[in-house]
Amino acid sequence: MAHRKEEHEEHHDERWLVSYADFITLLMVLFVVLYSMGQVNVEKYKQLAESMRTAFSIGGAAEVVDSQISQAGGTSEDGSSKPIVIPGIPEGPTQSEEVAGQLTSMLSSQNLGNQVSVQTNIEGVLISLSERLVFKNDQTELMPETMEVLNTIVEMMRPINNKIRLVGHTNNTPPTNPLYPTNWELSLARATSVAKYLINSGIPPERLIVSGQGEYAPVFPNDTEQHKEMNARVEIIIIYKVDSNIIDINSTGVLP
């Protein structure tokens, strides 16, 4: 019995060798993986990237990655940082910022206070006209004093051929005009009134996109009268021009 107990204790003391062997094996695998990662075959990597690009094309005709996109790694020749350039989206200070600056200067001379704001966003130049400037309560007819503002905007838009999005907004106060029982209808009718004025002023109708957001895209909570006034507005967005040839459906044979 004493001999068997001594043998059992001897095997128990050697169990650490199993864990040690497992640790050494894992360590060896780690070094093999690290070595393999440091020996990337550049040509095979390029072939893989090309295969992936081809695999994601439609019928071999459409490009997922536009060949015109600059892929210089985000740096200039002198090593300074530089954003990736996509055709149609201006690099650095945009022309849209120039348009926004000119509009701001032209409109500021009309003493409009905070009833008009001009800014740039990811879509283009956004001109916001407050309800108090453009419409009477629950009405869709343009007020006479609005014409001078819109004429200034038209003069800026006439020489260019960018698309123009017109979006009507309201606050959360239910309309009292029976012709427009919901804020959806009221906001759309107001955007349409501005669109008609732009068309009559020489802006081609095919450039216009008209929509109404009702009360559902406020810029402030509808918790004060001032905030409600600022939420009720019409937005005129001069959209960036982007030439897109990422997917040409007509070249795939899927659609006529």
3-state secondary structure 144-183: CCHHHHHHHHHHHHCCCCCCEEEEEECCCCCCCCCCCCCH
> In the beta sheet, which residues pair with residue 233?
130, 169
**pTM recorded for the entire structure:** 0.57
Structure tokens belonging to residue 70: 């600059």
The structural domains of the chain, with segments of one domain joined by +, span: 95-239
Write down the pLDDT at residue 109.
58
The CATH-assigned architecture of domain 95-239 is 2-Layer Sandwich (3.30)
pLDDT digits (tens, 9 = 90+) for 190-216: 999 999 999 999 999 999 999 999 999
> Which stretches of the chain drop beneath a pLDDT of 50?
55-75, 80-94, 244-256
CB-based contacts of 110: which residues, under 8 Å, 6+ apart?
148, 149, 152
| Averaged pLDDT of the chain | 74
CB 68 within 8 A of CB 242: no
